[in-house]
Amino acid sequence: MVATRNVQVKDGDVLVMVGTTKGAFLLRSSGARKKWDVGGPHFPGHSVYAMAYDGRGKKPTLWAGTNSMHWGGVLRSSTDFGKHWTEPESANVKFPTETGASLKQIWKIRPGRPEEPNTLFCGVEPAALFESRDGGETWELNRGLYDHPHRARWQPGGGGLCLHTILPDAQDRDRMFIAISTGGVYRTDDGGRTWQPRNHGVRADFLPGKFPEYGQCVHKVVAHPSRPDRLFLQNHWGLYRSDDGGDSWTDIANGVPSDFGFCMAMHPHDPETVYIVPIESDQFRCTPEGKLRVYRTRNAGKSWEALTRGLPQKEALECVLRDAMSVDHMNPAGVYFGTRSGLVYGSPDGGASWSKLIGGLPPVVSVEAAVVGGVKSNGSRRKASAAKRASRQPARSSSRPRAAKARGAAPRRRSPKKK
């Protein structure tokens, strides 16, 4: 078996965690994001559909949901960037006996809000939400959602009946969104005791009634912490935005080659900017015209632009799955995605230009990016040089100066003179 390689990680580095159907890989770079070291494979032979970076504690913790076709799934963690992973003797995420259900796969690991550092959430198949209040030591099934009367009518999508999206409201601790394929979006306003479907306006092309209360095949939902009532949704056919916490959804598929797709990523600093990778159709799950194009909106979906510089524009019949796209919190932001064909691409400039970070991996099913130790806010050299590079990108610098200033994306002003 191939030997596992470890990467040396330090504060300020950017880490891209790549989960595949046969193991996980850790990509590390300095803040410049030009050269990447590759570590792995971790958990060879196990699929890794969920990874997470939790920087809230004293030591950064990496999480991985690993699944063996033979031996089942378990949630593991590492506090030394993958040199050692926990191997719980007993499965730590499991259904209570009286449910009659068995864990098929862990789909999402989501650290809770910064002010609740011991809280983590986990989305699984069959569709259910688990919560930990002790830093991941023990996990409990959320019964409010599991016992929902709609459960019997949720149907598995192509990936299984999975709960793949968990969005704690950044400002309201009682509110959280989850999404199920196929079940749709559900919201709690009472800390998880009760859940209401929030799918008004979202299409379900595969049902006789196109706009049911629930049952949509939602592929991914994202939101920006500064605007928790605004959500963006990539549907199984359909791109949507909600400005009222999911109460209603508006079609925003304006100028994309297809509104089918899986992944969606929110810009870390700009609540108007979202990234997607359109896919031709549910019958032909490949990038349209053989062109690998990331689409970006910078006006909350009024228009979308193709980002192609550095991405193959012919003979690229690729697919990017629902959790295989992520952003880092550097400025300018890094954007990353992985394909079913085992390629990982990254952009250090918010999507203006791309390069292949690695190829030849097993099919990529999850990508999570993080800045180790968090982004330093005191204008480090790293940040300044990154902003300088960004200012050279025409797609970013000239068209929206007011918005750019408002979101603080390009700190080009001189420091105030000392008096």
Partner 1 sequence: MITFQIPGYLRSFTEGRGRVELDGSVASVGEALERLWTLHPGVRDRVVTEQGEVRQHVNVFVGDESIRFTGGLATPVPEGAEIWIVPAVSGGRS
Contacting partner 1 (CB under 8 A), which of 12, 44, 55, 72?
Answer: 72
Name the residue nearer to partner 1 (CB basis): 164 or 340: 340
Nearer to partner 1, 1 or 314 (CB): 1
Q: What type of residue sits at position 365?
A: V
95 near partner 1, judged by CB under 8 A? yes
- 69 contacts partner 1 (rule: CB under 8 A): yes
The C-alpha atoms of residue 94 and residue 86 are separated, in whole angstroms, by 17
Q: What is the full DSSP assignment across 81-139? A: TTSS----SS-SS---GGG-----EEEEEEE--TT-TT-EEEEEETTEEEEESSTTSS-
Binding of partner 1 at residue 22 (CB under 8 A)? yes
Closest approach, Cβ 188 to partner 1, in A, equals 25
d(CA 274, CA 240): 11
The footprint of partner 1 on residues 280-319 (CB under 8 A) is none
Give the whole-angstrom CA distance, residue 197 versus residue 204. Answer: 14
Counting Cβ atoms within 10 Å, is residue 144 exposed (0-12), middle (13-18) or buried (19+)? middle
Nearer to partner 1, 45 or 290 (CB): 45
Which residues on neighbouring strands pair with residue 54, listed in sequence order? 61
CB-CB neighbours of 38 under 10 Å: 17
Q: Which of 94, 110, 340, 407 binds partner 1 (CB under 8 A)?
A: 94
Site residue total, partner 1 (CB under 8 A): 21
Report 29-58 residues binding partner 1 (CB under 8 A).
47
* Paired tokens of 250: 């508006």
Binding span for partner 1 by CB under 8 A among 87-95, 226-234, 238-246, 318-326:
87-95
**The one among 87, 315, 414, 415 contacting partner 1 by CB under 8 A:** 87
**Using CB under 8 A, which of 71, 80, 388, 408 touches partner 1?**
71
Nearest partner of 302 among 231, 247, 252, 354, judged by Cα: 252
CB of 90 to partner 1, least distance (A): 5
**Pair of tokens at residue 255:** 């100028």
Tokens describing residue 195: 């859940």
Residue 74 in contact with partner 1, rule: CB under 8 A: yes
Helix, strand, or coil (residue 400)? coil
| Closer residue to partner 1, CB minimum distance, 55 or 72 | 72
Regarding 97 and contact with partner 1 (CB under 8 A), the answer is yes
Q: Which stretch binds partner 1 (CB under 8 A): 96-104, 159-167, 210-218, 277-285?
A: 96-104
Report how far Cα 122 is from the mean position of its chain's Cα atoms.
13
Question: Closest by alpha carbon to 114, among 176, 191, 193, 54?
Answer: 54
Of positions 3, 35, 89, 283, contacts partner 1 by CB under 8 A: 89
C-alpha angle 345-80-377 in degrees, rounded to nearest 5: 65
Backbone φ and ψ for 232, nearest 5 degrees, come out as: -120, 145
C-alpha distances in angstroms, 208 versus 154, 204, 212, 234?
Answer: 15, 8, 9, 21
Structure tokens at 350: 């918010």
- Candidate segments 94-102, 198-206, 327-335, 372-380, binder of partner 1 by CB under 8 A: 94-102
- Rule CB under 8 A: say whether 102 interacts with partner 1: yes
Angstrom distance (rounded) from CA 28 to CA 21: 20
When the beta carbons of 95 and 206 are compared against partner 1, the nearer one is: 95
Q: Which range in 65-73, 211-219, 275-283, 352-360 contacts partner 1 by CB under 8 A? A: 65-73
Shortest Cβ 142–partner 1 spacing (Å): 16
Give, for 381, the enclosing helix (H) or strand (E). Answer: helix 381-391
The stretch among 71-79, 143-151, 315-323, 389-397 that binds partner 1 (CB under 8 A) is: 71-79
Q: How far is the CB of 91 from partner 1 (least distance, A)?
A: 4
90 makes contact with partner 1 (CB under 8 A):
yes
CB of 362 to partner 1, least distance (A): 9
Contact 267, 350 (CB under 8 A): yes
Rounded least distance, CB 70 to partner 1, Å: 4
Question: Measured from the CB of residue 286, what is the shortest distance to partner 1 in angstroms?
Answer: 19
Which residues are near partner 1 by CB under 8 A? 21-22, 47, 68-72, 74, 87, 89-91, 94-97, 100-103
